[in-house]
Structure 1
Amino acid sequence: MRFALALLCGAAGCASPVGDDAAPEASARQERPLVAEGALRPPHAVDSLLSLVDQTAAVVEGEVTDLRSEYSPRTGPWTVVTLGNVRAHLGDVPGELRLKQVGGLLPDGRQLVVSHVPRFVRGARYVVFLRNTGWSLSPVLDGQAFRVESVGGREVLVGAEGGLVSGLGSAGVRQTAPVFETVDLSGARPALRAGVEVAGLPDALGREAFVSLLQNHLRARGLGVTGVFREEPVATASARSVSVAPASGQVPVPGFTSSQPERDIPPGQP
């Protein structure tokens, strides 16, 4: 799969999609040098449960307490998602996490959007897989961030495209066809799709059932998560600079710049 970068909204009439302007201390953090490559493991494709676990430093549950845009002329726009009241189901992390992701508000009022980088809902609780590899777009592994929702009195986990988490298999996390709308640029909580009936929703897992199933799978296979989650991106792993031709038969979309997905770009390669 490929991801795309998009600039959305003109300077006139484009509302800020992710909260207030960055505080001075946030701007100072953004100007710090990006993490050097060092001996970081390169990311690779997530196409199985094994490759998912292999690149996971931690599986955490937390509440989105803040969504904020940061910008600097050197590194461009970022959206910083703060997770509070964090509970580590696998791995070891602090009680509060900053997930810095490429994309966000530009000084002229436009929005830089990167596909395959998950959008978060302010105030929602999530189960998130965090990378143990170098990264340049998001520390969230392959979009594996699942929102906790309550539908018809039962708890479900919702994926980035609006599908419900229904299980685990050799290919990774299984999800149903989308039943929720996707999260928009404002970070508002999305509704069920038109025509979807609560009584007709497919079977799905809540957070405790999902985490228990994951832990059982790992124990049965003698697997576990390893490595450390890194808050800062790798300086030399910028996927934004890598252009590719459109896929065969694909019509280019005006305003989008196609690039290689992060998981195909090892740190240190141009």
Structure 2
Amino acid sequence: MYTTQPFEASKSHRLSGFRPELVAFLLFMFLVFGLLGARPGSAQSDLIRGGQGVGVVRLGQTLGELRKALGPPARVTSSPNDPNSKLLDYPKRGISVFLGSSGGVIGVVVHGRSWQTPEGIAVGTSQGQVTKLFGKGLVRGEGNLTYPDRGLAFSFRNGKVHTIYVFQREESRALMGDRLIDPGRRVGQILLGDPISRVEEAWGRADRVLPLGQGGQEKLYSFKEEAVGVVVLGGRIQGVILETGDFITREGVKVGSTRAEVLRAFGTTFRSEPGRIWYDVRGIGFWFQGDRVRQIQVVSGSR
């Protein structure tokens, strides 16, 4: 595995699609609403508009505009990963609003039954109806489906929609593929053994190229916009380093997952270092910040 310092994702990455600052907080929100339960929203017929907003709440609104539209929230909860990001809860309206560190609205969680999409999807709709209308989506852990091109995500309980999350639509991005982390083999469409030129053709030249190790023959190509690092030797990809939750394992583990979730998915047989654990046979390693996954490394396994 590679010992690297976390590289910073660019500001524009953090403000588009599923940003790293959202990943752990999404899990946190699903837990919060599991404890709160769904409550009825207002009687108005405003729609859930994927990639845009919910009723009078629009993505990109300032805190002042939000308060003018809805008034003060019933409670404010800080993000566990970013103290400058907050969740503003409006239980009587059946929604909560995620305010990013920039001070603007970057997401809305719907947990009241009165809201619905133009297609009629609402809290309580069956999972089968969601997938029939929207397709299979991307699995984001157990009971969660995401549709980045629609700006919608759903959490399910007992086969029915439990919460709906609205976020900025994400354009189709090169090399994302199915966004699957396949340990020892690939990340999305980035395949171990492929030439680095394939990545640079898709994403442009790396922001930085740093030598690794004493010999410096291996190099780390850092792509800040994607929050991805690629380890290269002799022009070929040897490893992929992720600091974004855009990719996920089949078991539902991604950047932002907890240590317990990693151990539950991959087991308790691993090689450990301070803050890191490696599953050498599988070809995957995890770097933790506190209890959360800060970085995932995918390399060739030893199987």
TM-score for both structures, normalised by structure 2: 0.23
TM-score for both structures, normalised by structure 1: 0.24
Structure with the largest fraction of helix: 2
Structure showing greater radius of gyration is 2
* Higher RCO structure, 1 or 2 (CA under 8 Å, sep 6+): 1
